[in-house]
Amino acid sequence: MAKEKKVEQITDMEVDFAQWYTDVCKKAELIDYSGIKGVFIYRPYGYAIWENMQCILDDMFKAKGHENVYMPMLIPESLLQKEKDHVEGFAPECAWVTMGGSEKLEERLCIRPTSETLFCDHFKDVIHSWRDLPKLYNQWCSVLRWEKTSRPFLRHREFLWQEGHTMHATAEEAIAETEQQLEVYADFCENYLAMPVVRGVKTDKEKFSGAERTYTIECMMHDHKALQSGTSHYFGDGFAKAFDIHFTDKNNQQAYPHQTSWGLSTRLIGGIIMTHGDNNGLVLPPKIAPIQVVVIPIAAHKPGVTQKARELAQQLKEAGLRVKIDESEQSPGWKFAEYEMKGVPLRLEIGPKDLEQNQCVMVRRDNLEKTVVCLDGLVEQSRKLLEDVHQGLYEKAKKNLQEHTFAAYSLEEAKRLQEEKGGFIKTMWCGEEACEVKMKEEGGMSSRCIPFEQETLADVCPICGKPAKKMIYWGVAY
């Protein structure tokens, strides 16, 4: 009955992937719609996932020497106008405050779509000497971008994120910072979210507004579409010049510092859903799951069952695991389906027969495989099974990535592969934007990145026939 109940609630991903995704977001109680179009409510379970992600990332950033700060949410229009390319890139998405109480403001205030200008306005007041560098800041906040379309986690008008902003004495130091933080994101995705990534550089057409260079990690979803999962930007000294940020270097000369920014947002929760979820619902990587083990008494009315279930739950909690025991009057089958829907990595079942044999049954969420575990080694076995779940999720996602990455040697072949199989299409490229535009218009794919790991597939660009300069990944993206 539990399976039937879930089939009725969730559309199969093979039938309608978009509807399956929305069903999971709603039925797993991750998110809800608000009264404002494009602005969502993060429900406790969904927000708990973000809190766990935030806690891990915050430690990773601080281990690299970054400090948390908080900037205002409002940006005066005159301040925003100081960096022309940056402003033009965000202008269509800006939301403006024009009234303060009942009075019209003398100057419009933009609700931050990102905070480069705010940080630069601050940096000019606190950077004077080479001794003041580097400045390694990070901010946890929400931003507002007036998107025309919205989708839970993937595209919000208001969304949660972190944005790192740093200043360095030299270009070399800033570029090293940019690359370092991209690797932090890749480490987080692969070793905490079980999401394999492709590391690379964005084309000039796709780079961040105002940046000299944008690095990215790209992930592949169940439906073989790409998700840009984290970006890191090198700005050079463009912002520093626009905002008149300068310092006295070691040679007692005036110089402009070099800047970076890097960001990762709650869209990664959408990535987790679309990378690991199945037709029973959400499947969560153990390291960020709000509940890592759910304990379910079987035949709870029998003597000793509930008491032992409570003891086991407490034992696991004391070992540092996130545990919930469900003592509700719902049937075991209903509970199984409910926690499968919520993606809990491990389910512990304990009943009268298990008590007699000093054992329990543990069920992995990723493959629903059952393991009989002796209670004497419960903590060790639980930890091992959680690691097995992570590894199983990673290997499955890696297989999906590898099996849906294809080499193409002509525009026609690239288009055919995308239409028939989806995924990443890798080709050589001359580096010309005209060919990038042609691939988008005729092949239906945007450039995802120029991967760090290069291959020589051919000598010429398959789009124009000119000499090829590098290999590039193309794909359809969220």
Quick count: other Cβ atoms within 10 Å of Cβ 173? 17
CATH number at residue 178: 3.30.930.10
Determine if the peptide bond prior to 134 is cis (ω within 30°): yes
CATH number at residue 316: 3.40.50.800
Could you tell me if residue 71 is inside a domain?
Answer: yes
Could you tell me if residue 130 is inside a domain?
Answer: yes
Q: Which domain holds residue 339?
A: 291-387
Could you tell me if residue 392 is inside a domain?
Answer: no
Where a domain ends, among 339, 361, 387?
Answer: 387
| Residue 123: half-sphere exposure toward Cβ, Cα within 13 Å | 32
Query: What pLDDT does 230 receive?
Result: 97
Residues 221 and 352 in one domain: no
Query: What pLDDT does 89 receive?
Result: 73
Residues 253 and 301 in one domain: no
Mean pLDDT per 10-residue section of the chain, whose length is 478 residues:
50 96 97 96 98 98 98 94 75 92 96 95 98 98 94 96 98 98 98 98 94 97 97 97 96 98 98 98 98 96 95 98 96 96 98 97 98 97 98 98 98 97 98 98 97 97 97 98
Where a domain ends, among 243, 276, 309?
Answer: 276
The tally of domains found in the chain comes to 3
Residues 204 and 63 in one domain: yes
Could you tell me if residue 122 is inside a domain?
Answer: yes
Residues 243 and 314 in one domain: no
- Whole-angstrom Cα distance, residue 162 to residue 142? 8
Residue with tokens 């044999």: 357
Could you tell me if residue 396 is inside a domain?
Answer: no
- Whole-angstrom Cα distance, residue 175 to residue 171? 6
CATH number at residue 415: 3.30.110.30
Query: What pLDDT does 3 receive?
Result: 41
Residues 244 and 210 in one domain: yes
Tokens linked to 399: 């297989």
Residues linked to residue 50 through DSSP beta bridges, in sequence order = none
Residues 375 and 433 in one domain: no
Residues 200 and 228 in one domain: yes
Query: What pLDDT does 83 receive?
Result: 74
Residues linked to residue 155 through DSSP beta bridges, in sequence order = 151
Could you tell me if residue 255 is inside a domain?
Answer: yes
- Whole-angstrom Cα distance, residue 220 to residue 227? 6
Residues 78 and 159 in one domain: yes
Residues 182 and 82 in one domain: yes
Alpha-helix runs per DSSP H in 91-229: 116-126, 171-191
Could you tell me if residue 107 is inside a domain?
Answer: yes
- Whole-angstrom Cα distance, residue 25 to residue 17? 12
Residues 109 and 246 in one domain: yes
Could you tell me if residue 395 is inside a domain?
Answer: no
Q: State the burial class of residue 254 (Cβ atoms within 10 Å of its Cβ: 0-12, 13-18, 19+).
A: exposed
- Whole-angstrom Cα distance, residue 343 to residue 292? 9
Tokens linked to 112: 């931050």
Where a domain ends, among 253, 276, 299?
Answer: 276
Residues 338 and 453 in one domain: no
- Whole-angstrom Cα distance, residue 69 to residue 60? 16
Residues 116 and 252 in one domain: yes
